[in-house]
Structure 1
Amino acid sequence: MATLAQAAPSPIRLEVDASDTRQRIFRVRESIPVQPGPLTLLYPQWIPGSHAPTGEITLLAGLQIQAAGRPLAWQRLPQEPFAFAVQVPAGVDRLELSFQYLSPLNDRQGDVVVTPDIVAVRWQSLLLYPRGEPVAQQPVEATLKLPEGWALATSLDEQGRSGARIGFRPVSVATLVDSPVWASPHLKRYELQAARPGVASVGLNVLADSAEDLQASPEALAAWTAMVRQATRVFGPLPVPRYEFLLSLNAGFMRVAREHQSSAELSTPPGLFSKWAAMVNERRNVPHEFVHAWNGKLRSPAGLAPDDFNTPLDTRDLWIYEGQTQYWGYVLRARSGDLSPAQALQLWAREAAAMAARRGNTWRSLQDTTLDPVMRYDRARAWGSWQRSADYYSEGTLLWLAVDARLRQLSGGQRSLDDLARTFFSAPPPARQRYERAELWAALEALAPGDWQRFIEGRLEGTGQDFVTRTLEAAGWRLVFKAQQSELDAAIDRLAGASDFSDSIGVAVANDGRLNTVRWESEAFRAGLAPGAQLVAVNGRSFSTALLREAIAEAGRTRQPLDLVVKADERFSTVRLRADEGLRYPQLERIPDRPDLLSVMLSPLP
Structure 2
Amino acid sequence: MCKSFIKTIIFSIFMVIIGSSELYAQAPIKFEVSFKEPQAHYVEVQMEIKDVSKDYIDVKMPVWAPGSYLVREFSKNVEGFRAKTVSGGELGVQKMTKNTWRITTGKEKTVLVNYRVYAFEVSVRTSFVDASHAFLSPTGIFMYPDGQVKRPAEVTIKPFKTWSRVSTGLTPVDQKQFTYTATDFDVLFDSPIEVGNQDVFNFTAAGVNHEVAMYGGGNYDKERLSADMAKIVESATAVFGENPNEHYVFIVHNYQSGGGGLEHLNSTVLGASRFAYGTENGYKSFLSLVAHEYFHLWNIKRLRPVTLGPFDYDKENYTTDLWIGEGFTAYYDNLLVRRAGFYTEDAYLQLLASDIAAVENRPGNLVQPLSESSFDAWIKYYRQDENSVNSIVSYYNKGALMAMMMDLKILKATNGEKGLDDVMKAAYNEFYKKRAKGFTDQEFKSIAEKVAGISLDDVYEMVNSASSPDYNKYLQLVGAELSDLNKGYEIPDLGIKTTISDGKLTVQNVYRGSGAWEGGLNVKDELIGINGYRIDIAGKELERTIQASKIEDVVKILVARDGVLKELDIKLGTNKSGKYLIKFIDNPLPEQSKLKDKWLH
Output the TM-score relative to the length of structure 1. 0.80
Select the structure that is richer in helix.
2
* Distance in structure 1 (CA, Å) of the matches to 2:27 and 2:576: 70
Q: Is 2:368 aligned against 1:403?
A: no
Percent of residue pairs identical:
20
Match of 1:203 in 2: 211
Match of 1:194 in 2: 204
Tell me if the contact between 1:36 and 1:87 (Cα under 8 Å) persists in the aligned partners: no
Give the direction of change, closer, same or farther, for the CA distance of 1:85–1:181 in structure 2 (3 Å limit): same
Give the direction of change, closer, same or farther, for the CA distance of 1:259–1:55 in structure 2 (3 Å limit): farther
Give the direction of change, closer, same or farther, for the CA distance of 1:560–1:437 in structure 2 (3 Å limit): closer
Deviations 1:207-266 (A, max 9, x none): 11x4xx15337775554332222111222232111111111112498x652110111111
Match runs of 1:96-107 below 5 Å:
96-104=112-120
* Distance in structure 1 (CA, Å) of the matches to 2:523 and 2:340: 38
Give the direction of change, closer, same or farther, for the CA distance of 1:580–1:39 in structure 2 (3 Å limit): closer
Match of 1:586 in 2: 580
Match of 2:71 in 1: 53
Deviation for aligned residue 1:400: 1.2
Match of 1:240 in 2: 245
Q: Is 2:85 aligned against 1:71?
A: no
Deviations 1:515-539 (A, max 9, x none): 5544322455456545555667899
Unaligned runs of 5+ in 2: 1-19
Give the direction of change, closer, same or farther, for the CA distance of 1:60–1:214 in structure 2 (3 Å limit): farther
Match of 1:183 in 2: 195
Match of 2:141 in 1: 126
What letter matches 2:78 in structure 1? L
Unaligned runs of 5+ in 1: 485-501
Match of 1:154 in 2: 168
Give the direction of change, closer, same or farther, for the CA distance of 1:430–1:258 in structure 2 (3 Å limit): farther
Equivalenced residue count is 564
Tell me if the contact between 1:188 and 1:214 (Cα under 8 Å) persists in the aligned partners: no
Match runs of 1:545-560 below 5 Å:
none
RMSD: 3.9
Match runs of 1:350-365 below 5 Å:
350-365=354-369
Among 594, 598, 603, the alignment partner of 2:600 is 603
* Distance in structure 2 (CA, Å) of the matches to 1:190 and 1:104: 27
Q: Is 2:47 aligned against 1:30?
A: yes
Match of 2:35 in 1: 18
Deviations 1:85-112 (A, max 9, x none): 344323x3221111111223689xx946
Deviates more, 1:592-601 or 1:112-121: 592-601
Deviation for aligned residue 1:148: 2.5
| Greater radius of gyration (CA) | 2
Match of 1:94 in 2: 110
Tell me if the contact between 2:287 and 2:337 (Cα under 8 Å) persists in the aligned partners: no
Give the direction of change, closer, same or farther, for the CA distance of 1:111–1:312 in structure 2 (3 Å limit): closer
Deviation for aligned residue 1:479: 3.6
* Distance in structure 2 (CA, Å) of the matches to 1:409 and 1:552: 47
Tell me if the contact between 2:360 and 2:578 (Cα under 8 Å) persists in the aligned partners: no
Deviates more, 1:4-13 or 1:377-386: 4-13
Equivalent position SS for 1:64:
strand
Match runs of 1:231-380 below 5 Å:
231-251=236-256, 256-277=260-281, 284-306=288-310, 308-310=312-314, 312-375=316-379, 377-380=381-384
Equivalent position SS for 1:57:
helix
Equivalent position SS for 1:289:
helix
* Distance in structure 2 (CA, Å) of the matches to 1:514 and 1:217: 45
Tell me if the contact between 1:34 and 1:94 (Cα under 8 Å) persists in the aligned partners: yes
Equivalent position SS for 1:404:
helix
Among 150, 172, 175, the alignment partner of 2:184 is 172
Give the direction of change, closer, same or farther, for the CA distance of 1:430–1:41 in structure 2 (3 Å limit): farther
* Distance in structure 1 (CA, Å) of the matches to 2:256 and 2:365: 36
Tell me if the contact between 2:232 and 2:287 (Cα under 8 Å) persists in the aligned partners: no
* Distance in structure 2 (CA, Å) of the matches to 1:433 and 1:223: 33
Output the TM-score relative to the length of structure 2. 0.81
Deviation for aligned residue 1:375: 1.8
Deviation for aligned residue 1:72: 2.5
Deviates more, 1:467-476 or 1:288-297: 467-476
Equivalent position SS for 1:231:
helix
Deviations 1:305-339 (A, max 9, x none): 12553364132221221121111113123223444
Equivalent position SS for 1:127:
coil
Deviation for aligned residue 1:351: 1.8
